[in-house]
A and B are shown apart, each in its own frame.
Chain A
Amino acid sequence: MHQRRCKVVCAMHIHGAVNNFLYSASFLNPLNWVKEKLVPSIREKPSQEEVEASKKQAAKEGNRSVFEATPGPLVRQARGKWGLAIPVKKGVHVPNKPHKPRPTAHKYSTANFKISHRKLNMLGRQIAGKPVDYAILQMQFSEKRASSRIMNMLATAKDHAVRYKRLSEPKLVVAESWVSKGPRGPKRLEPRGRGHFGIRTHPNSKLTVVLKEGKTVEEQKKEERARKIRKIVSAAATREDVPIRNPSPTSLGAAVHSEQLWKLAESKFQSFENTAIVRTVELGGSVVHVTTTYAIKATQPGAKVYTIALGLEEKQKTSWLEVKVKGQQTPLDVVHYPLDTSRNFQLLDVALPDVLSLNSTLNLVLETLQTHATFPWPKQASQKEDQALKYQTDLFVLSPYHTGVQRTKVKAPTPRVISYTTPENLQDFTLDAPASKQGATVTYGPYSDIPTSSNNKFIKEHQQPITVHYFHEQPVLEISKLTRTAEISHWGANLNIQDNLVLHNAGPTLKGHFSRLEHQSQSYFKRPAPHALPALTLHLPPGIRNTYYYDLIGNVSTSRLRIAPAAPKNQRASRYSVLELRPRYPILGGWNYTFTLGWDAPLSDSAVYDRSTGKYIVEVPIMTPIPGAVVNSAEVSIVLPEGATGVEFAPPFPAVANRISTHTTYLDSMGRPMLTFEYENLTIMHAQSIFVSYKVPLAAHLRKPFVVGVAFFSVFALAIVGRRINLTIHQKTL
């Protein structure tokens, strides 16, 4: 962090053509859809304009940030009568034939002002790569001293970029931002105790930004979506009981015959060394967040695959894993080695973004989420007592390479750490105290000069478990089973999602019995028991309709819901509907509670119609993120409309199992295809979406009304015939 000029470059693209999707609900409502089909009018051109129009519309409606430096009309005035706005020679600015190439970037900076470059740099990192509106928003709410100044600077920069450089203003992103030191003022003495003195410097620095027409967030999301859809693998035959082949990258890797991989691995092992490994463990309830930073140095030219080693039980606990280059957003591809039990560790290959030359360095960040990694200790706690958890992990971060220095930080949620193990016989790695605690953090290491550790020998000799015993204030939540059913209805333009959850409090089980008196007094004195869960706050998507929340014996009248309006098209859903979900009784340690939660969402929010292929593409979230809870097993079923064909899907990560079956419901004549995915150990990081695409022919749309109508008329006909017959009988008898 001491380099003179730290520069953050974000991936920057010139904005391409508008996507070929039509984001309009009208296509999802079959009536309009049928109309559209029947009347083949020219729809392409208007649709283009529609997109533009809707964007402008959104901008005008103030869905854009409030801190707009130049409000909509002003922009248009500047666009329209540029002559008045900018006093330059005419003809120069005629849009269609400019003399010099149209500028693509606008660079702007603050003056030098009295701030440390290190402090300013944080803001620089924060806004780099963000859309300018978003950056301004960040600055508005940042607590740093410089933030307001940066905000003004950004606003001005944006204004100028729009007025002078005529960059399109909704696309502006902060492409680059860097901090440079200015002249330092005269140093001052700082008197210290005992006749000592220090020297005070008064640094000046400034922040420079480059605004370019980059991708807005919607476009990033759009591309993400497009990428996933490109990855779609066809879902074999629509037969039940036969699972669908949907090979995902990782499982592919696993499929590749293992021996070559091992050979490859052995050969590659020499080509790196870790200058430093820092592992940070953020302890929590049922989910533990582990971040490991590898500072690697290539010891051979042309190295491009780096190998990471995980301990065996660590691997088993890990439910989510991602490798990035430090400071970048896009995750790198990871290939898992086949797991064989003779070696008690697991290797992963990481494909580096670009080939490293000799001695060039790179910082890799490995983020993992561990579930069921902690356990309550003591196992029982009465209503008054605290809840304490234990976390156990290995001392050393394994690596197939030689490691210069390595350190492990274990951060407890509170400073109240009861105990932590001090590892033994580490004299050949470190000389001073092997473990130290300050505040809420327990630090192991630094341990220097560690040989290649991903082999049984090292593990046998040096690897040892370390345990941290700490207090935890929040209840430890587990969803032992989540069953989600998403039903897509085109007639209602509606996406119904219903979850059945089995909630379990995995904290220390309640010792003795529950006393309402205790509970009431605790909540009265604002000292709730740490392992009692009185209520749960969930974030549901915006714009949802008739939410229902009930359990086996009727609906639970104690829950509250604040619904956010649906986000307009081409705007990201910034707000959530907040469901304050209060079970019938406070859930204490070891207690269970089952409930059902469902809602209707407008289909247009989560589905698009791709008119080039005539396919619908629907996005179904796998789970509603429940902060700090782990979902032990989940089963997500997606019910497609009746008569859907050509079903394809792209899950964000491979499922344990998935299948297609037939599901028959409201007045169906042939049943609806139902996709079912099964998952395990989902965490908040897994709250992503499954993309399903399918065709629905017109006949299928019209099937239901036809069948119902036929049924009705047949009933009437029967009634008529019946009357006739009755009459004849009467004639006979009378």
Chain B
Amino acid sequence: MPTAYPLPTNLSPATVANTASLIRIVALALISGAAIASRLFAVINFESIIHEFDPWFNYRATRVLASKGFYEFWNWFDPTAWYPLGRVVGGTLYPGLMATSGVIYNLLHAINLPVDIRNICVLLAPGFSALTAWATYMFTKEMKDASAGLLAAAFIGIVPGYISRSVAGSYDNEAIAIFLLMITFYCWIKALKQGSALFGTVAAVFYFYMVAAWGGYAFITNMIPLHALVLILMGRFSSRLYVAYSSWYAIGTLASMQVPFVGFQPVKTSEHMAALGVFGLLQIVAFAQLVRSHVSSHQFQKLLATGVISIGILGAMAFVLLTYKGWIAPWTGRFYSLWDTGYAKKYIPIIASVSEHQPTAWPSFFMDLQFLVFLFPAGVILCFRELRDEHLFVIIYAVVASYFAGVMVRLMLTLTPVVCVASAVALSTLLDTFVDPTEPEVVDDTRSESGASTISAPGTNGAAPSPTTPATTSKKAKKAAAAAAEHPTTLSDILASSSTKTAKPKGIYGLDTRIMVVLNTICMLAFFVSHCTWVTSSAYSSPSVVLASSNPDGSQHIIDDFREAYYWLRQNTPEDAVVMSWWDYGYQIAGMADRPTLVDNNTWNNTHIATVGKAMSSSEEVAYPILRKHDVSYILVIFGGLIGYSGDDINKFLWMVRIAQGVWPDEVQEPSFFTPQGEYKVDDNASPAMRNSLMYKMSYYRFVDLFGGAQAMDRVRQQQVPKVGPTLDYLDEAFTSENWIVRIYEVKKEDSLGRDLKSANAFAQGKKRKRSKPTTRRRAIL
């Protein structure tokens, strides 16, 4: 048999196998190293710090867990959150993340390694990313083979779409959830292939872990039943499917109900009903199979007809009845917003106001996946080529996940693994077509030459499928035999026919085409790596707590206003001083300033948030009673106008207004905050409602004086602030951070002489005005 390049012949198969496995292990180790290392940009560029918003809560909860122990944590009631109400933390979170790092913490301390809990939390995500790479490797190995698995592991290790949620310091549920997702799917596939209850059980256990870790477990809950259903409908029911699914479902569902936050949802809410239905269906089908194996087909027809019809009717009626009686909750809002992107904007502004719930923009696909975007469909098509059960799974997963990723930015995360798997399959098929040394012995001159040339050309521009087609067909001849053996179903003869149709052996001649294609592929991979590194270092590894700018000399300059203000709160205000801010900053205030907050980032109480929104968006006189009623003593606003920090409260202001309007439609109207021309302005022709609103006043209080007579400019809005700044009668400026990003105001107590604060202020100022300075508006000294 001719080969394109000489092969060493004197190798015993054992040696080859051993070297292969050794190389595989080494490669996996390197991949894990790369995955971890590329996530440490955040620590190197900044410091070992918790990022963003939610991680601060997880971190706080973990500290409680580490210090007080698990039972304290389990029934932890936090009176400082949602100030008057408080929050039952133990029952309203997914404890998986905290439990994980708590276990690691205790483990390390058991062997006298006093590692700070913060560092554990910071480095948890990178560590699990390595595990994710491993899980993806196993998964893909089930799909194709080990080489594809290695490729997939490498992809998932450094693909930005996953790094964006798992850089060091982003201590969030997703950090471990993706690993659990992949490992659960792997176990499911394994169980399905072998039909072993063991893997079903393992899958169920990991599913339990997933449920405890992330709200996105519903994805698995619907993904696996969907797969099973499709298999049944394709007439691919087998006892293996029965074993795998029912062992997974029976144990997994029961286990998932142990998590207090999930509770009885698996049997009561509609999201979980699909799984239950498929379970029931599976039982029936299995029973039918059993019966069929015993009776003649004609009788079986009858039985089947009566049985299926009656049971179908019964099931439907039961479902409708239950939903009607309210035993099964109808679909929740977040669920609707998945199907109708406009839904959230209309009905749940809070969900819509979160930036990561917006539909995905096209560039972000390329930014997160780069050339995997092109390889992805190729891989899916390859899965169609030989359609085993697990390939079906990948296909379904691909379709569903890509839809969801289009709907919400944050669901990009669930798409990324399947993209990596599929494109790894495609790329490895391409490679081992072109690296495979065997040349077809049939020397048919022009066709395959031209074919080869057409192959080699488009290898670069990402049209990967075209070169792979002949490859897979040639492989399919081999595979078909195997497949025919293991599928006695109708699939096999389809394959057989197709393989006979293209029985003529195909392949690549010569070295040149091989080298060209392989070189192109290597270039693509190199670009991919550089792209990933660049994106990670530039876009994804800044802890939005600390901002970085650069000095004129190019050195890094840290803007640390948030922590400055939070630490001031922590050190110089009474322990029980309630701080009001927009809910984005609730977790950070609780974590860093350690003060009670009105609202925070788990937005379970819309009315409470709306109250804050109303207080922010209405005038002082209206807001003051609200503040006093919730005995707020400090208000914290974020103002980027001085240095141009665009994520500040004035830009979020419209959402506050909308949310408040949702609850008090007659007191807060969104249109009144626009100029008559319908623009959103803060300058001279801003609407009166805008200029009287608490938020506006607090943001621009004494902002003009800073410019000392010159025209004050808001660097974010690029608008000129009115010459006469707002005055405050009911609030005192308590603290302002170095770059004016964070401004904290103290709510005045009622006047000691019983006057209303406005007149008291006027009186005090009147006295001031007689003395020298007329310009500075000094606050009343009560």
Contacts and interface: CB of A to CB of B under 8 A. Distances in A.
A558 B560 contact: yes
A223 to B, nearest CB: 40
B112 interface: yes
B408 to A, nearest CB: 31
Given A585-B564, A664-B112, A668-B112, A552 B702 contact: no
B319 interface: no
Contact of B706 (A511, A517, A668, A669): A517
A557 B570 contact: no
Interface string B412-444: 000000000000000000000000000000000
B572 interface: yes
Contact of B567 (A511, A516, A552, A557): A552
Interface string A538-557: 00000000000001111111
Contact of A553 (B563, B736, B738, B740): B563
A512 B702 contact: no
Contacts of B732: 512-513
Contacts of A711: 111
Contacts of B779: 512-513
A554 B169 CA distance: 12
A553 to B, nearest CB: 5
Interface in B547-583: 558, 560, 563-568, 570-572
B734 A513 contact: yes
Given A517-B702, A665-B112, A665-B114, A585 B734 contact: no
Interface in B684-716: 702, 705-706
A719 to B, nearest CB: 15
A64 to B, nearest CB: 37
Contacts of B565: 585
A619 B111 CA distance: 31
Interface string A300-339: 0000000000000000000000000000000000000000
A514 interface: yes
Contact of B558 (A511, A515, A552, A558): A558
Chain B contact-residue range equals: 35 or more
Given A553-B566, A584-B560, A664-B112, A513 B735 contact: yes
B571 A667 contact: no
B734 to A, nearest CB: 5
B567 A584 contact: yes
Interface string B586-601: 0000011000000000
A554 B563 CA distance: 9
B21 to A, nearest CB: 15
Nearest to A380: B781
Interface in A541-595: 551-558, 584-585, 591-594
Contacts of B566: 553
B728 to A, nearest CB: 11
A472 to B, nearest CB: 22
Contacts of A555: 47
A120 B740 CA distance: 58
A666 B113 contact: yes
Contacts, number: 79
B197 interface: no
B648 interface: no
A549 to B, nearest CB: 11
A318 to B, nearest CB: 31
A665 B116 CA distance: 12
Nearest to A512: B781
Contacts of A594: 571
Contacts of A585: 564-565, 567-568, 735, 737-738
A520 interface: yes
B567 A553 contact: yes
A591 B740 CA distance: 20
Contacts of B546: 557
- Indicate the member of A520, A553, A556 with the most B CB atoms within 10 Å: A553
A514 B734 contact: yes
A585 B573 CA distance: 14
B49 interface: yes
A585 B746 CA distance: 18
A513 B746 contact: yes
A483 B35 CA distance: 40
A580 to B, nearest CB: 15
Kindly name the residue among B546, B566, B592, B733 whose own CB sees the greatest number of chain A CB atoms within 10 A.
Answer: B733
A557 B705 CA distance: 29
A667 B115 CA distance: 11
Contacts of B114: 665-666
A397 to B, nearest CB: 42
| Interface residues of A, dominant DSSP | loop
A592 B705 contact: no
A517 B705 contact: yes
A667 B563 contact: no
B120 to A, nearest CB: 15
A83 B565 CA distance: 76
B592 A553 contact: yes
Interface string A644-669: 00000000000000000000111111
A572 B592 CA distance: 44
Contacts of B740: 516
Contacts of A515: 702, 733, 736
A554 B734 CA distance: 24
Interface string A516-530: 110010000000000
A480 to B, nearest CB: 12
Interface in B724-782: 732-738, 740, 746, 779, 781
A556 B568 CA distance: 13
Interface string B331-369: 000000000000000000000000000000000000000
A557 B781 contact: no
Nearest to B558: A557
A591 B572 CA distance: 6
A667 B112 contact: yes
A666 B108 CA distance: 10
A666 B111 CA distance: 8
B563 A516 contact: no
Nearest to B50: A554
Interface string A486-524: 000000000000000000000000011111110010000
B49 A516 contact: no
Nearest to A591: B572
A74 B112 CA distance: 59
Nearest to A586: B738
Given A513-B779, A584-B567, A591-B572, A557 B560 contact: yes
Contact of A592 (B49, B572, B706): B572
A511 B563 CA distance: 24
A488 to B, nearest CB: 17
Given A513-B732, A592-B572, A666 B738 contact: no
A502 to B, nearest CB: 10
B15 to A, nearest CB: 22
B60 to A, nearest CB: 11
A380 B777 CA distance: 21
Given A551-B567, A584-B564, A516 B112 contact: no
Most-contacted residue by chain B among A585, A592, A594 (CB, 10 A): A585
25 contacts: A513-B732, A513-B733, A513-B734, A514-B734, A515-B702, A515-B733, A517-B702, A517-B705, A553-B592, A554-B49, A557-B47, A557-B558, A558-B558, A558-B560, A584-B567, A584-B568, A585-B568, A585-B737, A591-B571, A592-B571, A665-B114, A666-B112, A666-B114, A667-B111, A711-B111
Interface of A: 511-517, 520, 551-558, 584-585, 591-594, 664-669, 711
Q: Across chains A and B, which 3 residue pairs bring their CB atoms closest together, nearest first?
A: A516-B736, A557-B558, A584-B564
Interface of B: 47-49, 111-114, 546, 558, 560, 563-568, 570-572, 591-592, 702, 705-706, 732-738, 740, 746, 779, 781
Given A513-B733, A513-B734, A513-B735, 11 more contacts: A517-B736, A551-B567, A553-B592, A554-B563, A557-B558, A557-B560, A584-B568, A585-B735, A666-B113, A667-B113, A668-B112
